[in-house]
Structure 1
Amino acid sequence: MKPGLSAMKSKPLKFAALSAIGLALLSALSGCGPDQVLAPPAPPTVSVSQPVNRQIIDWDSFTGRFEATDSVEVRSRVSGYLEKVAFTDGAIVKKGDLLFVIDSRSFQAAVVQAQGKLAQVRSQLALAEQEYARAKVLIESKTIARSLYDQRLQARQAAQAEVLSAEGALSNARLDLEFTRITAPMSGRISRKLISEGNLVNGGNNNATLLTTIVSLDPIDIYFDIDEQSYLKYRRQEQGAAGQNLVRIALPGQSEPALSGRMDFIDNRLDPSTGTLRQRARVANPDLRLSPGQFGRVQFSGRPSYQALLLPDTAISVDATRKVVYVLNAQNQVELRPVQLGKLHDGLREVASGLRPEDRVIVDGIQRVRVGETATASEQALALALAPKASASEGAPL
Structure 2
Amino acid sequence: MAVIGGGWWFYQHREANALVANAKPAAPPQVTVSKPLVENLDTRLGFLGQFSAVDQVELRAQVGGTLTGIYFKDGDIVHKGDLLFSIDPVPYEIRLAQAKAQLENATAKRVLADQELRRAQELEHNDAGTVENVQQRTSDLNGAQAAIDDAQAQIRDARFDLDHCRISAPFTGRIGRHLVSIGNLIAGSRAATSPTTLLATIVSLDPIYLDFDMSEADYQTFSHYRSDLRSPLANKVELTSGNGNDSVLTRQGTLDFVDNVLDRSSGTIHARATVANPDLRLTPGEFSRVRLAVARPVPTLLIPDASVLPDQSEHIVLTVAADGTVVPKQVQVGDMRGGLRVIRSGLSADDRVIIDGLPFAAPGAKVATRDSTLRYTAKQD
SS in 1 for 2:105: helix
Q: 1:335/1:190 Cα in 2 relative to 1: closer, same or farther (>3 Å)?
A: closer
Counterpart contact for 2:327–2:363, Cα < 8 Å: no
Query: 1:323 matched to which residue of 2?
Result: 316
Q: Which moved more, 1:315-324 or 1:196-205?
A: 315-324
Counterpart contact for 1:44–1:369, Cα < 8 Å: no
Q: Which amino acid aligns with 1:221?
A: Y
Query: 1:21 matched to which residue of 2?
Result: none
Q: Which moved more, 1:62-71 or 1:341-350?
A: 341-350
Shift of 1:384: 2.3
Query: 1:273 matched to which residue of 2?
Result: 265
Looking at structure 2, the residues matched to 265 and 348 of structure 1 have their Cα atoms a distance apart, in angstroms, of: 32
Query: 1:32 matched to which residue of 2?
Result: none
Shift of 1:77: 1.1
For normalisation by structure 1, the TM-score amounts to 0.75
Looking at structure 2, the residues matched to 48 and 66 of structure 1 have their Cα atoms a distance apart, in angstroms, of: 43
Write out aligned runs for 1:138-217 (5 A).
Answer: 138-140=123-125, 142-204=127-189, 205=191, 206-217=194-205
Looking at structure 1, the residues matched to 306 and 200 of structure 2 have their Cα atoms a distance apart, in angstroms, of: 58
Write out aligned runs for 1:226-245 (5 A).
Answer: 226-238=214-226, 244-245=234-235
Q: Which of 277, 288, 302 is the equivalent residue of 1:285?
A: 277
For normalisation by structure 2, the TM-score amounts to 0.78
Q: Which moved more, 1:262-271 or 1:363-372?
A: 363-372
Q: 1:180/1:290 Cα in 2 relative to 1: closer, same or farther (>3 Å)?
A: same
Residue by residue, what CA displacement relative to the aligned partner does 1:23-42 show, whole Å, maximum 9, x if unpaired?
Answer: xxxxxx9xxxxxx9799999
Counterpart contact for 1:187–1:216, Cα < 8 Å: yes
Q: Which moved more, 1:200-209 or 1:302-311?
A: 302-311
SS in 2 for 1:177: helix
Q: Which amino acid aligns with 2:209?
A: D
Q: 1:184/1:121 Cα in 2 relative to 1: closer, same or farther (>3 Å)?
A: same
Q: 1:345/1:164 Cα in 2 relative to 1: closer, same or farther (>3 Å)?
A: same
Write out aligned runs for 1:83-94 (5 A).
Answer: 83-94=68-79
Q: Indicate whether 1:121 and 2:106 are aligned.
A: yes
Question: Once the two structures are aligned, what percentage of the paired residues are identical?
Answer: 37
Shift of 1:391: 4.8
Q: Which amino acid aligns with 1:189?
A: R
Looking at structure 2, the residues matched to 391 and 246 of structure 1 have their Cα atoms a distance apart, in angstroms, of: 19
Q: Which amino acid aligns with 2:234?
A: Q
Q: 1:361/1:73 Cα in 2 relative to 1: closer, same or farther (>3 Å)?
A: closer
Q: 1:263/1:179 Cα in 2 relative to 1: closer, same or farther (>3 Å)?
A: same
Query: 1:53 matched to which residue of 2?
Result: 38
Shift of 1:234: 2.6
Q: Structure 2: 5+ residue runs without aligned partners?
A: 1-17
Looking at structure 2, the residues matched to 113 and 38 of structure 1 have their Cα atoms a distance apart, in angstroms, of: 119
Q: Which moved more, 1:120-129 or 1:336-345?
A: 336-345
Looking at structure 2, the residues matched to 183 and 333 of structure 1 have their Cα atoms a distance apart, in angstroms, of: 77
Q: Which amino acid aligns with 2:46?
A: S
Residue by residue, what CA displacement relative to the aligned partner does 1:9-60 show, whole Å, maximum 9, x if unpaired?
Answer: xxxxxxxxxxxxxxxxxxxx9xxxxxx9799999999876543221112333
SS in 2 for 1:186: coil
SS in 2 for 1:213: strand
Higher share of residues assigned strand: 2
Counterpart contact for 1:225–1:277, Cα < 8 Å: yes
Q: Indicate whether 1:342 and 2:342 are aligned.
A: no
Counterpart contact for 2:317–2:353, Cα < 8 Å: no
Q: 1:284/1:202 Cα in 2 relative to 1: closer, same or farther (>3 Å)?
A: same
Query: 1:351 matched to which residue of 2?
Result: 343
Query: 2:116 matched to which residue of 1?
Result: 131
SS in 2 for 1:164: helix
Q: Indicate whether 1:221 and 2:206 are aligned.
A: no
Q: 1:83/1:352 Cα in 2 relative to 1: closer, same or farther (>3 Å)?
A: closer
Counterpart contact for 1:255–1:391, Cα < 8 Å: no
Q: Indicate whether 1:264 and 2:256 are aligned.
A: yes
